[in-house]
Amino acid sequence: MTNKPHLLVVDGMALLFRSFFASSAMGQYIRLEDGTPTNGVQGFARHVLTAQNLMKPTHLAVCWDMGAQTFRNELFDGYKANRPAPPEEMLPQFDMAKEISELIGWKNFGVPGMEADDTIGSMVEKWKDDAQITIISGDKDLLQLLNSTTRIAFTKKGYTEYDVYTEERFKEEYKIEPYQFAYVKAFMGDSSDGYPGVKGIGPKTALQLIQNYGSIDEVIDNLEKLKPAQRTKIADNMEMLKLSHQLATIERNMEIDANLEELALNDYSTDRFDELERRGFRLIVKHAKSLYSIA
């Protein structure tokens, strides 16, 4: 590790959903006195506190989706259209998570019309030369953001297990550059995001095409070299291929309204955790006290 700051960028939405479904599956909603469920929020905060303890960042940012509608829905009606609405018990927890995050002392980021991925991508672009960056998420789309100073820790099990990708590991496994991953996604599509890519081309073929030709344009320029079946599939789905690439590409040029210094982590204050205790978030407080010297 260099002497550069170490910035931990948290995909807040990914951790909130993960924590909600992990505990709600066992019927644990951990309600406040007024009945409001808090299981997702308490899990999210405990996850971030543990990650901080494990990864020892000097700076931290939490990125959020801001509402369901984004510029990708404007591009394609079907974008994420097949996702079920969040369960009723989750609805009050979106705002609550941001509030608790701020109360603990973390800085939240999110822009209406953009996804958390775009905020994360723009942070990487802004600070890749100034900091070592670790992204925590469960979203493989983020692989396209890897570079020599940025790694991604994908959630695996519980709060402590991660599958960590560096640029080196990605290149070794995929035999392409990280930015080319969006081309692969364009061919194979993404059923969870609801865009089809090229019907009939799966992940393996999509990756081979980009390994062999490097980009969508190059594949199109070399159509006559492909097997007839592949050629037909691509020719029939040209518009969707290009649209899928737009949907798969993470935005990196959003305005991030902060200096790196503003994200510096300070020691946790007892007052903040007393306030959390008063509000009924006892699991977060207990967890924080077990990890950090908070009176």
- Here the CATH number for the domain that contains residue 150 is 3.40.50.1010
Q: At what angle do helices 93-104 and 39-55 cross, to 10 degrees?
A: 40
**Residue-level pLDDT at 287:** 94
With bands split at pLDDT 50, 70 and 90, how would you rate the model's confidence at 294? Answer: confident
Q: pLDDT of 110-149, one tens digit each?
A: 999 999 999 999 999 999 999 999 999 999 999 999 999 9
Domain tally, the chain:
2
Same domain, 225 and 102: no
Per-residue model confidence (pLDDT) at position 295: 60
CA 29 to centroid of chain Cα atoms: 24
What integer pLDDT is reported at residue 261 of this predicted model? 97
Q: Are residues 150 and 222 in the same domain?
A: no
Domain of residue 199, residue span: 177-248
Residues 66 and 183 in one domain: no
Q: What is the pLDDT of residue 2?
A: 58
Distance in angstroms (rounded) separating the CA atoms of residues 98 and 287:
18
pLDDT at 32 over 70: yes
Do 268 and 126 lie in a common domain? yes
Domain of 231: which CATH number? 1.10.150.20
Say which residue the tokens 């509000």 belong to: 279
The candidate with the shortest Cα–Cα distance to 61, out of 124, 141, 153, is: 124
Which is higher by pLDDT, 26 or 51? 51
Over range 261-265, report the average pLDDT: 97
Q: What is the mean pLDDT of the chain?
A: 95
Closest CA to 79 of 9, 141, 137: 141
Same domain, 90 and 229: no
Helix (H, G, I), strand (E, B) or coil at 104: helix
pLDDT at 251: 97
Query: At 98, is the secondary structure helix, strand, or coil?
Result: helix
User: Is residue 1 assigned to a domain?
Assistant: no
Phi, psi of 199 (to 5 degrees): -55, 130
**Same domain membership, residue 90 and residue 186:** no
Do 133 and 195 fall within a single domain? Answer: no
Give CA–CA dist 59/138, Å, rounded: 21
Least confident of 38-52, 67-81, 179-193, 223-237: 67-81
Q: Are residues 213 and 131 part of one domain? A: no
Asked if 161 and 26 sit in the same domain, the reply is: yes
Lowest average pLDDT, out of 57-61, 149-153, 264-268, goes to 264-268
Which H or E element spans position 156? strand 150-157
Q: What is the pLDDT of residue 229?
A: 96
Q: Answer yes or no: do 166 and 184 share one domain.
A: no
140 and 81 co-located in one domain: yes
